[in-house]
């Protein structure tokens, strides 16, 4: 599926749920960051995930801290290698981002599990 088709299917809530696993979230984040600046990409990602989750009857699944934290990590990876300008190359060069557990390097489990972390971005990384 092309990048444009992927984002369009996500926006229209026609993307198969299996295509929006963790890797699909990272792909969407990468594509939105390439098309928008960081603040707009965050807003776009938030809206698309919430709308998509609601269409699946899973509106309560959205997690603000996880979403924003991954966008920060994706954005940082993109800034280190700006010449990489396609999803397959980015995914190949940054396999750590395709592992959900990467956030454990920055956040304690209790911080991520806190109810307020679902609603607002919590900046409480592990040092």
Give pTM, 2 decimals. 0.93
Q: For residues 29 and 42, give the distance between their C-alpha atoms in angstroms, rounded to a whole number.
A: 8
What is the tens place of the pLDDT at every residue in 86-102? 999 999 999 999 999 99
Query: Looking at residue 1, what DSSP letter applies?
Result: -
Q: Are 109 and 76 in contact (CB under 8 A)?
A: no
Give Cβ neighbours of residue 4 (< 8 Å, ≥ 6 apart). none
Tens-place pLDDT, residues 58-73: 989 899 999 999 999 9
Q: Single out the residue of 55, 73, 60 nearest to residue 12, CA to CA.
A: 55
């Amino acid at each position: 599926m092309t990048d444009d088709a992927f984002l369009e299917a996500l926006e229209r809530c026609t993307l198969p749920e299996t295509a929006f696993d963790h890797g699909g979230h990272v792909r969407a984040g990468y594509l939105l960051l390439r098309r928008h600046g960081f603040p707009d990409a965050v807003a776009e990602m938030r809206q698309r995930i919430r709308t998509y989750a609601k269409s699946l009857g899973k509106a309560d699944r959205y997690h603000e801290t996880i979403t924003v934290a991954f966008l920060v990590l994706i954005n940082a990876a993109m800034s280190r290698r700006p010449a990489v300008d396609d999803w397959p190359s980015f995914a190949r060069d940054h396999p750590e981002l395709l592992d959900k557990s990467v956030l454990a390097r920055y956040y304690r489990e209790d911080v991520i599990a806190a109810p307020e972390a679902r609603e607002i971005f919590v900046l409480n990384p592990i040092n």
